Structure 1
Amino acid sequence: MLGIQQDNFCDEVEWLDTDASEDEDYLPLMNDSQDASKQFFLKTSNPQDFLDDVSDRKRNRMNSLSWDINSRDLFRRKFTITTETPSDKVRKAIDKTIDDGIERVDISHVELTEIPDEIEELQYVTVVHHDIVKTAALQIFMYGNYIETINLRLFRLKNLSVLSLRNNRLTTIPPEIALLENLVELSLGNNQLKSIPAELLRLKKLELLSLLPNPFLLLPTDNSHRLVCKQSKPTLVEISTRSLLAQPDDLIKDNQCILPTELLTKFQSIPKTNHCEHCKLLFHIPDIEQVIWRSVLGNHHIPVLYRFCSIQCSHKLVL
């Protein structure tokens, strides 16, 4: 073993030079041992040309190196795996709005499939303006998600002024949207809406309404602007409920002990938005639903779904 030569312990490796230009950058300008450099210098009528050539190579290398660094950084950011869930992103956005006292909430493109219950916390947001604390004119942006239905807790935000639900998967808009009495701008384009509720037209402060595109019902070829899409007879419970709801509130309160539990439950579950578009009578289930095509805030031939307590009221409605 002692007679074995040291050279037998390693194999000869042929190295591949991946960047010859890097070596050239660090060579002496006038080294006699480098024939190529010397010959170039000797053949050049002006030595300054040689110096310029070396400078250009260095400059090109620095630009290439800068591009490589930026590309690697972009690649790293693009493929960084995040552990944040859509709920985490919503929670962070809500906390930031409440803690910083700002009016804008952006939870767009976070892959939401539903509006979380935490959204109602935004009703308590306040802002400071000219040293005066006031309720925020809230702006919520939830476009570019996968929302199919609207959580009714959203309609508790009386301070909501701007709402964007564009580019989602909504098929209907609940009548309770009429509760957003301070809404100024509403965006509902790029959804799956067949019609909009007539209750939306009760929003007196609404100035900007974006509805297109949506697969709205088309205006009938006979140009009839009305279409009955649902008609039913009220049940005995529904008739009793409407009759009692038409009475003063004190009457119901004073007779709670003798009223059936089912009726009391219905009283509590009826939102104030559920009333006939003609006579304003409160109901739990409408007798008739009718689509009427009309222009709404600059949107033409939009199918609007009206709800009535009776067929008579549907005939009496004058637009």
Structure 2
Amino acid sequence: MRPAQVAALALLAALAAPTQLAAEPMYSYWLSSQYKLVVAYGSEAIINGTYSFTVDFTALVAMKIDELRVQLWLVRGTSYRSLLSATLARNVTVGAGWALSRTFSVAVRGDPRADPILLRVAVSVTVNETNLASTHELALAPVRPRSYDSLVERVGQLESEVSELEGELKRARASYHELLGNYSELSSSREELRGRYEALLREYEARLAELEALRSRLGLALVNCSRLSRQLEELRSELERVQGLYLEFKSKYEELSGRYEQLLMAKEKLSNRLSMVSSAATALGLILAATASALVYLLRERVRPPRAKGASEREQPSPPKVSSREGPR
């Protein structure tokens, strides 16, 4: 088949397809003085579905059918793919009125591109020892992803959706006018918000400068923290050394405390002995004082001039008496 013929047949099928009804079968026929050929077929083929057609051949005169062959192609642009190739009759002698009818069903596979299914019927007969050969070609139906009935149903759904959308459009227009009334109010609010935004932006820039200053101070603080950490480690080392000295001094203190307690006890004993010695010394002092007084009196009596005997006896004092029971005061 020539590419130009294929393209022409595809164009004719595409132009005729919108006016065809899916529920009605389509018919094409060829009539000559020797035979009549009728093809009944569906108006559309659905992708991944089954497509059926019927071929009727009727002999009008006595003849010999050399070959009656049917071929079916799926057209893709200027190329085509074979779907069916079948021989209905070969080397058969028939009389006038002889008829043959065959129905074919083929599966349509592939990606639809609105290209048609093409039918070719090759007829070769001999009448009165004269060979007559002819080829009949027909673009049967376009290949569609969906059937015409489903498209009609979809159109109804879309019309219903359009009605709903029209109602929504009316409501949207009412909302639009309401929103248009609020637009002026929002515009004034926008100016106010813009002023507040600019003020906040200035405040943000000021806070950003403060943040940079705080970051600088933070850097210095981190440096000081590192320095103080080193000093802390040094102080910890010094503290450990001082704690060692403290424990050493504490041990010595406890030792000295023990010795101090011993000294206190010795002091207490010495204080008691000192009290006894002091009491004895006081008593001894009184005795010595009494003895000294007696000696002084005796010495005075020895050195006094003599007096009259009577007077001297009257004036002579009696020596002091010391009681043996009187102790030191």
Q: TM-score, with normalisation over the residues of structure 2?
A: 0.19
- Hey, which of these two has a bigger chunk of strand by percent? 2
RCO comparison, higher one (Cα < 8 Å, 6+): 2
Query: Which is higher, the Rg of structure 1 or of structure 2?
Result: 2
Higher helix share: 2
